[in-house]
Amino acid sequence: MWGNKPSEPVQGDPSRATPATPSTEPPERAVEGAGRVANIAIIGKGMTIKGEIRSKESLHVDGEVEGNLYMLDCRLSVSREGRLGANVKAREIELMGVAQGDLEATSKITIRKGARLIGDLRAPGILIEEGAYVKGKIEIVNGPEVATTPQTALRKAAGG
């Protein structure tokens, strides 16, 4: 009975309880879970980015981006206020705003009602909602073909 009193304050001590909590769940799992939710970069309404962007995390654009975006394993979303003057290669693209440039995705491209795009689309899955404006070529491809350039595709079709 008296032997329990010294251990009770230690267990109730916040500095002791905090390190004990992560040991019940592997830290890698906690970081991955938080990473999936928290790893979205945002370009705010008052921001303009010019140049090449290479990202290993998803991107949400409320402002303006001009140049090229390479984010092959990530998702790009452009809000209704967002403006894109760029060629994009991403896993998934959702356009709700205005874009001028070619969009290429390894998964799917979604053009929402009210969005405006001048440029080509290339992906295995393409959805264009009624009320969206698109001017350009549309190419629906199989998954592995997305990573190839048009020149490589022509060589494969010609047997070389």
Q: Rounded to the nearest 10 degrees, how much is the dihedral formed by the CA atoms of 101, 109, 44, 39?
A: -130
Q: Which among 73, 80, 79, 46 has a CA at the least distance from the CA of 58?
A: 73
* Residue 50 lies inside a defined structural domain of this protein: yes
* Residue 143 lies inside a defined structural domain of this protein: yes
19: amino acid identity, one letter: P
- Give the per-residue pLDDT at 142: 82
* Residue 127 lies inside a defined structural domain of this protein: yes
In total, how many domains does the chain have?
A: 1
**How confident is the model over 118-139, as pLDDT tens digits?**
999 999 999 999 999 999 999 9
Q: In sequence order, what are the residues at sequence separation of 6 or more whose Cβ sits closer than 8 angstroms to the Cβ of residue 152?
A: none
Give me 52's structure tokens: 């090449």
Angle between helices 14-24 and 4-12 (to 10 degrees): 80
The answer to which of 10-14, 25-29, 142-146 has the lowest mean pLDDT is 25-29
- Give the per-residue pLDDT at 14: 43
The proportion of the chain whose per-residue pLDDT surpasses 90, expressed as a percent, equals 62
**How confident is the model over 70-121, as pLDDT tens digits?**
999 999 999 999 999 999 999 999 999 999 999 999 999 999 999 999 999 9
- Give the per-residue pLDDT at 12: 47
The answer to which of 1-10, 12-21, 60-69, 116-125 has the lowest mean pLDDT is 12-21
Q: Cα(93)–Cα(156) distance, rounded to whole angstroms? A: 27
Q: Is 113 helix (H, G, I), strand (E, B) or coil?
A: coil
* Residue 14 lies inside a defined structural domain of this protein: no
* Residue 95 lies inside a defined structural domain of this protein: yes
Burial of 26 (0-12, 13-18, 19+ CB in 10 A): exposed
**CA atoms within 13 A of residue 151's CA, in its CB half-sphere:** 0
Average pLDDT of the chain, as a whole number: 77
CA 33 to chain centre: 16
Q: Cα(132)–Cα(137) distance, rounded to whole angstroms? A: 15
* Residue 7 lies inside a defined structural domain of this protein: no
* Residue 6 lies inside a defined structural domain of this protein: no
Q: Range of 146's domain?
A: 38-155
